[in-house]
Amino acid sequence: MLRSTVALRLARTLVSWARASENVAHFKLNNPPVNAISKQLITEAKQAWSDMEASGVQGAVITTDNKKVFCAGINLPEIIDTTEAQFCEYYGLFEGFMRQVLMSPLATVAAIPGFAPAGGTVLALCCDYRISVPSDKPTIGLTEVAVGIAAPSWIMEMAKLNLGFRNAEYDLCLGRAMPPQEALERGYLHEIVPAEDLLPRAHTVLEAYLAAPAHARQKSKLELRQPIANLMGPDSIARFYKTCSDPRAQQCLKAALQALGKGKK
């Protein structure tokens, strides 16, 4: 019975990490079909990230074995028709994990094999370096407005710092998704490589990061990102609950969820 229970628990694991070399780990999302950030996934992710940092590795590649989707972002049912306590617990976990990645002493590369809208783009922007693969489809973007909500202020700040004010304002206000080539030009991505080169290139990039003196690299990273982290926390969670619980936002979120359901048929 114990063995069966353990096997069942392992089968439900939505996040995993493993050393790919002495100093580098792969941190993988595995929540089919689209790696939506459910409460279970984010709970596992926070613990897995802490374990990975404690293991002694110096760099991490965030990726997935899903060849079409990196991460579809927030799981919409988690923020529709919930109580304030339920919402804040979920979103607090989400923001907490993003802060872990954003302010991690590890060198981090997002290896993006496919779609990464909304929260998927946010997760990628929290990494030090972002690589994706060629596509003509709109795979990347801060699309929160498209489902009826304004992004939290820390995401806006992160967008401004990565994209510049003009691009950030335009993309955030329209909730735009775009193909990788445009995302590269606007600052979401650092590189686009063929799919077969995605992980090898991520490792090459990490080698360059790890060649720098760790104490100086980490201090530079954390000081540059502290203005973003300062916007996170209880006040941010409360404001985002107010944003999402607005009846107009709830109506849009329900319509978006319904549209996604129709798209699966």
Would you give per-residue pLDDT tens digits along the chain (265 residues)? Answer: 344 333 334 456 999 999 999 999 999 999 999 999 999 999 999 999 999 999 999 999 999 999 999 999 999 999 999 999 999 999 999 999 999 999 999 999 999 999 999 999 999 999 999 999 999 999 999 999 999 999 999 999 999 999 999 999 999 999 999 999 999 999 999 999 999 999 999 999 999 999 999 999 999 999 999 999 999 999 999 999 999 999 999 999 999 999 987 655 4
Give φ, ψ of 135 to 5 degrees. Answer: -165, 150
What is d(CA 114, CA 134) in angstroms, rounded to the nearest whole number?
9
- DSSP secondary structure code for residue 151 in this structure: P
What is d(CA 70, CA 29) in angstroms, rounded to the nearest whole number?
8
In which element (H, E) is residue 129 found?
A: strand 129-132
pTM of the predicted structure, to 2 decimals: 0.94
User: Is residue 175 within 8 Å of 253, Cβ to Cβ?
Assistant: no
Shortest CA distance to 153 belongs to which of 39, 161, 110, 138? 161
Number of Cβ within a 10 Å radius of residue 58:
18
Identify whether 134 is preceded by a cis peptide bond (ω within 30 of 0): no
What is d(CA 198, CA 178) in angstroms, rounded to the nearest whole number?
19
